[in-house]
Amino acid sequence: MTELSIGVRDDATGPASLTATRMNRHTFWCGQSGSGKTYALGVVLEELLLRTALPLVIIDPNADFVRLGEVREGVDADVAATLSSRDIRVLRPAHVGGDALRARFSTMLPQSKAAIMRLDPIADREEFNAFLHLGDSNEPLDARTLMTRLREAADPGMLAIAQRIENLALLQWQIWAGENPAASEIIAERPDATVLDIGGFAHPEESLSVVLSVLDDLWMRREERRPVLLVIDEAHNVCSPELTGTLAVAVRERIIQIAAEGRKYGLWLLLSTQRPSKVHPGVISQCDNLGLMKMSSPADLAELGSVFGFIPDELLARAASFEQGQALLAGGFAPTDGVVRMRERYTHEGGADVRVPVRG
């Protein structure tokens, strides 16, 4: 049985590990700000890269994992060599440099395209119907040709679509792939890890659109049954119960669908956030594994207790007094439910905390 070595047991009785084969269940990882949640998540991802062939897709809103392929000095030579040999792709907004994070509009599902364009099938029924007929032809069109055809069409619905595209500034977005590879196409090659740095776009909707394109593609390919671990850091950004707007809701609903039905197809979730209430109950209720770091709120601990009812209340209550780096691990991926201290990272953390400057 492959074990992921993540630290030591809190009672100092030996090493702490996770069972790699039990990552085929959805996992919820949470802890309040300052608990070391993101750092600890990086430890788990390093171990998965070291010990398994499970491809990782990491949705990274704060560039915390963009250096996942950069090994720190002083790391054991064999560990460093293994991590350095892994195929880790880091996709970022085009203006940041490196490999660009892009989406291909033409291959997205019709309802996802409509969400990006904020089209409602009832409120905008004439325009929505005209939009549907745009897909009647399989001829690929570049943006300029498409806009010309829309403006010259006799159908007023087509002109309305052209105006909508211009009003939303969709053609100014950086994410459109054109002749470049889309993120979904890179992920389909199944590198060992694909980090999607979704922060830093000029238009907030760009990050949601590229995430939706990736989720759509994974879902459409589900019958291939090719395992992948979908890691969503700061998951409240994409699956909060409070999200509004057509595009945000479309992303959340796809994640809920993957949570409910994806496991049997090899689509497994690892969600990380600060509080359980910030993630839609339709997602968290499907999680079998729990990684809990410092959590001071009694209400949050009570909510976790109701979802993960197999964990004793007295064990959950210990999280209120955790130090940075301590974690309660419970569920199928933990050989035994208990508290551990996470080891140091092998790779660099991309978004480490800013320190308070001090005088000489």
pLDDT digits (tens, 9 = 90+) for 205-230: 999 999 999 999 999 999 999 999 99
Pair 235, 259 in one domain: yes
Question: What is the span of the domain harbouring residue 291?
Answer: 3-103+175-342
Q: Is residue 297 part of a domain?
A: yes
One-character DSSP codes across 45-64: HHHHHHH----EEEEETTSS
Pair 153, 196 in one domain: no
Q: Is the pLDDT of residue 355 over 80?
A: no
Q: Is residue 203 part of a domain?
A: yes
Q: Is residue 52 part of a domain?
A: yes
Pair 92, 131 in one domain: no
Question: What pLDDT is recorded for position 169?
Answer: 87
Question: What pLDDT is recorded for position 219?
Answer: 97
Pair 70, 87 in one domain: yes
Nearest-angstrom CA–CA distance, 168 and 144: 16
Q: Is residue 163 part of a domain?
A: yes
Q: Is residue 350 part of a domain?
A: no
Q: Is the pLDDT of residue 250 over 60?
A: yes
Pair 199, 82 in one domain: yes
Pair 306, 201 in one domain: yes
Question: What pLDDT is recorded for position 272?
Answer: 97
CA angle 232, 238, 242 (to 5 degrees): 140
Total domain count for the chain?
Answer: 2
Q: What is the mean pLDDT of residues 344-359?
A: 78
* pTM summary value: 0.92
Q: Is residue 355 part of a domain?
A: no
Q: Return the CATH number at 314.
A: 3.40.50.300
Question: What pLDDT is recorded for position 65?
Answer: 96
Nearest-angstrom CA–CA distance, 23 and 129: 43
Pair 24, 45 in one domain: yes
Pair 89, 197 in one domain: yes
Pair 156, 187 in one domain: no
Per DSSP, the chain holds a count of helices (H) and strands (E) of: 13, 12
Contact 126, 155 (CB under 8 A): no
Q: Is residue 111 part of a domain?
A: no
Pair 234, 306 in one domain: yes
Pair 151, 295 in one domain: no
Pair 150, 186 in one domain: no
pLDDT tens-place string over residues 3-62: 999 999 988 788 999 999 999 999 999 999 999 999 999 999 999 999 999 999 999 999
Q: Is the pLDDT of residue 138 over 60?
A: no
Q: Is residue 114 part of a domain?
A: no
Nearest-angstrom CA–CA distance, 279 and 304: 12
